[in-house]
Structure 1
């Protein structure tokens, strides 16, 4: 799912699958299961086929993520397999995760490319742009 979370614009050469082992990306899932790690998966009714995932992880200032705001705001990652996008799966995953963590955190953050179609979803769910650097946006949703 980490690979699927990476946005590659249409008509662009896909990234090599090995990119997820780069330290700046691997840290989003490495040693998963730390106290503050939280996430959900979406599976088909067969209970076997994984189609999406959403997860939160806290990063610290000495090793920030792309959407880092501060040491107390978890950064959101989300992925839905391409053939299952535009079916409301991402919205359901995010809504459920937010309902589970809204009493634990005051906000969540994320990083997204300004040309990523998911940007519409994030705006619709209440995320606001708090930083813009070239084509990359840092967004925050307050609870």
Structure 2
């Protein structure tokens, strides 16, 4: 299965709502949140009118012609906000494509893209019990704050060659 990482196309922007839902860590499959949660005031800024703000950047993971994941960032005061001018990112894959290294490759590509655009750092938030937290640590993110079991993490983008 070959993975293609590329910029999101304008016609694919509605997929960001799906990926925002997938980015929400829901440890109990029997008690998933309703999909409408992505339209709440707290989550809407992550995907609403994407591409209309300076700093909006999104790469997608494509397998067999199907978009199966996305990594994106924008300048918002979200759960992982640590200050200006540091964009906050989100990343998600559809469940059947997780655990294959696709997320690692997708996130690395986004970090390289952001570095190339001159951003000095990027932030995110993640529940500390979420298995994705290990990926973020491996890629050079460090915890800068913790609130109710949620980590706010930062990754400095200077030299991406050392991040594993």
The DSSP-based 3-state class of the residue aligned with 1:18 is helix
Residue matched to 2:124: 110
**Counterpart residue number, 2:87:** 74
Task: Give the number of equivalent residue pairs.
Answer: 137
| From 9, 28, 31, the counterpart of 1:10 | 28
The correspondence for 1:27, drawn from 45, 50, 55, is 45
What is aligned with 2:72?
A: 55
Q: String of CA shifts for 1:3-57, please: whole Å, max 9, x gaps.
A: 1111111355000011111011011011111221001011112x1x221000011
Q: Does 1:83 align with 2:96?
A: yes
Matched, 1:128 2:156: no
> How many Å separate the matches in 1 of 2:80 and 2:151?
8
Where has structure 1 moved over 6 Å in runs of 4 or more? none
Structure 2: state its 5+ residue gaps.
Answer: 1-18, 158-164
Cα displacement string for residues 69-124 of structure 1 (whole angstroms, at most 9, x for unaligned residues): 00200001001111110011111111111111114111100000011000110000
Bigger helix share: 2
Unaligned runs of 5+ in 1: none
- Distance (whole Å) between structure 1 residues aligned to residue 29 and residue 39 of structure 2: 24
Q: Distance in 1 between matches of 2:134 and 2:42?
A: 26
RMSD over aligned Cα, in angstroms? 1.1
